[in-house]
Structure 1
Amino acid sequence: MAQNQPLSGPAPAKAALRRELLAARRALSPDALAASARALSRSASRLPELADAHTVAAYVSVGTEPGTRELLDALRAAGKRVLLPVLLPDNDLDWAVYEGPESLAGAAHPGKMRLLEPAGARLGSEAVTGADAVLLPGLAVDRRGMRLGRGGGSYDRVLERLERAGAHPALVVLLYDDEVVARVPEEPHDHPVRAVATPSGVVRF
C-alpha cells in the first residue's frame, strides 16, 4: 500500500504520491500487466452498475495503466453502448461511440503520451451526462472514495459537468490492488466515487 508523505498542503502531497504510484506502475512486467488486465475485466464485469447500464462512458488504457481493452470488448459484447473520450486542445473531453478495436486510431497530442481514440462521429462534451456509469482513470482511491487523478484536469471537468447537469451515474475507478490507499490528499474540487474495481475484486464506499 502506498504511503502518504506529510507535505505542506494537498497539491505537493498529491505530486509526491503520484510520483510514487507511477514509479510502481513502471516496474510492472508485461506479463503482470496482461494478467492484471484480464482479471480487471472479470471483476469489473461483475459490477451491477455495469451489468444494468445501457450506456457506459469508459476510456482506452495507455502505457502501464490498468488495462481496459478486454473490458471494453466485454461491455460491447454484452450490448452496452460504450462511449470513449477524445482529448480536446484545452484538456476537456469530447466523446464518440466505441465500435470495436478497429475503430480506434492513434492520436498525438503535444506534450502527452500517444493515445488511442475512437474514430467515429463526435457527440460533444455533454454526451457523458447521458451515461449510466462512468469508468474513471486514476492513480489511487482512499477508503473514503476520494480519487487521485494524474493531474491533467480532464476528468475533474467531466465530474463538474455531471454535477451541473444533475446527472448521477455510477462512478467507478479502475486501479491495481495496492492503489486503494488509506488516504489521498483532498482539494475542494475533488469528488468521491462509488466503487473501485481492481484485478482482485471490487471495493465499495
Structure 2
Amino acid sequence: MTGTHPCQGAAKTAVRDQLLTARRRRPLPEVGTAARAIADHVLATDEVRRAATVAAYVSVGTEPGTTDLLDRLVDAGKRVILPVLLPDNDLDWAVYHGPTSLAPARRGLLEPLSTPLGVAAVATADVVLVPGLAASRAGLRLGRGGGSYDRALARVPVGTFTCVLLYDDELLADVPAEPHDRPVTAAATPGGVVRLTA
C-alpha cells in the first residue's frame, strides 16, 4: 500500500493478529449474546430510529453478529443495503430482502442477490454500520487491512452516523492509524453505544 509508514503497518499487523486470536477464542454462546445486545443498542439510537436507509453488513465467523440486527432493521421498515465486494476490494451495494436473499461470495462472505446499486449508494444511507477489529476513543477504526471500508467511508457525507460494531474489550484508548484511515462517529458494543470524538 503506497504511503504506508512501515512502523504503522507493522503495528497494525501485530494488533490485528492479537484481536483476531482473541475473537477466535470467544465462546459461541458469548458471540450470540453479544449480537443480541448490540442489536438492541443500535436499534435504540435516535439515528437508527429516524433512518430510512441503513448500510450494514453480514457478519462472518466470530465477528459481532449482525443476522438478528439485519432482520430487525427490515422489520422496523428500514431499507437495508449490504456490501458486494468488487475485484479491486472496493464495495458496491445491494438491497437486503431477508436471509434467503443472500448467497455465498468470495472470502467466505454472504452477499445480496439483488441488483447492485453502485459504489456511491453508501452515500444515500442515513446510518452506516461497519465492521472492525477495534476502534479508539478518537474514532479511529482498525479494519482487516483491505481498505474496502476506508474507501466506502470516504463517500459518506460528513455528519452521517457511522458506527463500528465491536466487543467491549475492542474499544481501545488508541489504535495504529495511517493517513487514509477514515474515522467513525460511534462504536456499538454489548455494553452500549459509545460516541467517539474525531
- Shorter-chain TM-score bucket reads over 0.9
> 175, 179, 182: which is aligned to 2:170?
179
> 179, 189, 197: which is aligned to 1:198?
189
Which amino acid counterpart does residue 143 of structure 1 have in structure 2? R
Using the size of structure 2 for normalisation, the TM-score is 0.93
C-alpha displacement of 1:135 = 0.4
C-alpha displacement of 1:168 = 3.9
State the match for 1:126 in structure 2.
Answer: 120
State the match for 2:151 in structure 1.
Answer: 157
State the match for 2:13 in structure 1.
Answer: 15
Moved over 2 A (4+): none
Gapped regions of structure 1 (runs ≥ 5): 1-7
C-alpha displacement of 1:167 = 5.3
Gapped regions of structure 2 (runs ≥ 5): 1-5
Counterpart-to-counterpart distance in 1, 2:115 and 2:45: 29
Helix, strand or coil at the partner of 1:9: helix
After superposition, the CA RMSD in angstroms is: 1.2
Which amino acid counterpart does residue 112 of structure 2 have in structure 1? P
C-alpha displacement of 1:87 = 0.7
Contact conserved, 1:172 with 1:196, CA < 8 A, in 2? Answer: yes
For residues 19-58 of structure 1, the aligned pairs below 5 Å read 19-58=17-56
Which amino acid counterpart does residue 48 of structure 1 have in structure 2? D
For residues 41-120 of structure 1, the aligned pairs below 5 Å read 41-107=39-105, 109=106, 112=107, 114-120=108-114
Counterpart-to-counterpart distance in 2, 1:149 and 1:115: 16
State the match for 2:3 in structure 1.
Answer: none
User: Aligned residues, how many?
Assistant: 191
